[in-house]
């Protein structure tokens, strides 16, 4: 039994949208292989799009569910399956939430094996938790005991480019931003501080002499003080900017999508 916390996605299309987004960006075509396909969410989308596809997974329960849904799935270890198919025979390979289960050595071995099975110009799509995402660290990654490590986007690019792939990357939108409300509040507060100026007292009235004196003095004093107060506001707004940028950097897109084109 695997100590993995599994989520039940609502029946409102949330799961479909989650798996469809990277595929819509990738635009799969031709003969397609989904390694680590699970119960077949992505395979179902590919089938709907008319893409010839087959899935591989070593989890018998996941394979049983995919077969129940009428999908083309094989129960096998993905390295063994790759070893049984011809070189230069595939147009596309999907690794959706697979690589974070692999150590570096197995990941590199998988990329090398996948490349030889792809045709020239064939493409591989890697979908994996974004190592720069706060949500990935605090929530998604820690909920599965079979996760091995997170891969920095720069490392993914380096590994693929050194093994004969042209690399294109995309970061998903934060599906569950941890600090979204806080960043929005700080940004609004900063903009308000930077834009707002304190008004001077109303113009003097010449009907009441004592009021004229008081307002004249007040305007002179405030005319000296208010520019300093406004500058303090602007300085405070500027000091918030690096805080907002720092928080935004760690609340990035939950997934990283990496497309490698075999050269």
| Phi, psi angles (nearest 5°) of residue 108 | -65, -40
9-18, pLDDT tens digit by residue?
A: 334 455 677 7
Sign of the CA dihedral with 10 first, then 139, 58, and 23 last: positive
Q: For position 159, what pLDDT does the model report? A: 96
70-122, pLDDT tens digit by residue?
A: 999 999 999 999 999 999 999 999 999 999 999 999 999 999 999 999 999 99
142-169, pLDDT tens digit by residue?
A: 888 899 999 999 999 999 999 999 999 9
Give the ranges where the chain is alpha helix by DSSP (H).
Answer: 14-26, 41-48, 60-68, 78-83, 104-117, 134-135, 153-161, 180-195, 209-250
- Domains in the chain: boundaries: 14-176+253-262, 180-249
**pTM for this one?**
0.73
Does residue 46 or residue 239 have the better pLDDT? Answer: 46
Q: Which fold has domain 14-176+253-262?
A: Rossmann fold (3.40.50)
Q: For position 175, what pLDDT does the model report? A: 61
Q: For position 252, what pLDDT does the model report? A: 76
Q: For position 243, what pLDDT does the model report? A: 74
Q: How far, in Å, CA of 115 to CA of 166, rounded?
A: 12
């Amino acid at each position: 039994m695997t100590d993995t916390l599994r989520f039940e996605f609502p029946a409102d299309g949330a799961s479909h949208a989650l798996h469809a987004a990277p595929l819509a960006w990738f635009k799969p075509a031709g003969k397609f292989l989904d390694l680590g396909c699970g119960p077949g969410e992505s395979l179902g989308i590919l089938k709907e799009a008319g893409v010839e596809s087959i899935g591989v997974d070593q989890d018998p329960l996941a394979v049983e569910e995919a077969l129940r849904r009428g999908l083309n799935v094989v129960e096998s270890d993905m390295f063994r399956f790759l070893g049984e198919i011809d070189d230069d025979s595939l147009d596309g390979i999907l690794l959706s939430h697979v690589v974070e289960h692999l150590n570096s050595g197995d990941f590199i071995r998988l990329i090398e094996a996948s490349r030889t099975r792809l045709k020239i110009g064939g493409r591989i799509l890697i979908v994996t938790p974004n190592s720069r995402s706060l949500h990935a660290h605090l929530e998604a990654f820690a909920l599965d005991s079979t996760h091995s490590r997170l891969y920095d986007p720069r490392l993914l690019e380096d590994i693929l480019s050194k093994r004969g792939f042209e690399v294109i990357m995309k970061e998903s939108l934060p599906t569950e931003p941890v600090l979204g409300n806080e960043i929005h509040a700080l940004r609004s507060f900063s903009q308000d501080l930077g834009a707002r100026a304190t008004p001077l007292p109303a113009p003097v009235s010449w009907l009441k002499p004592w009021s004229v004196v008081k307002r004249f003095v007040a305007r002179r004093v405030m005319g000296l003080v208010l520019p300093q107060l406004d500058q303090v506001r602007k300085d405070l707004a500027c000091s918030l900017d690096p805080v907002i940028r720092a928080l935004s950097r760690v609340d990035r897109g939950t997934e990283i999508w990496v497309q490698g084109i075999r050269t």
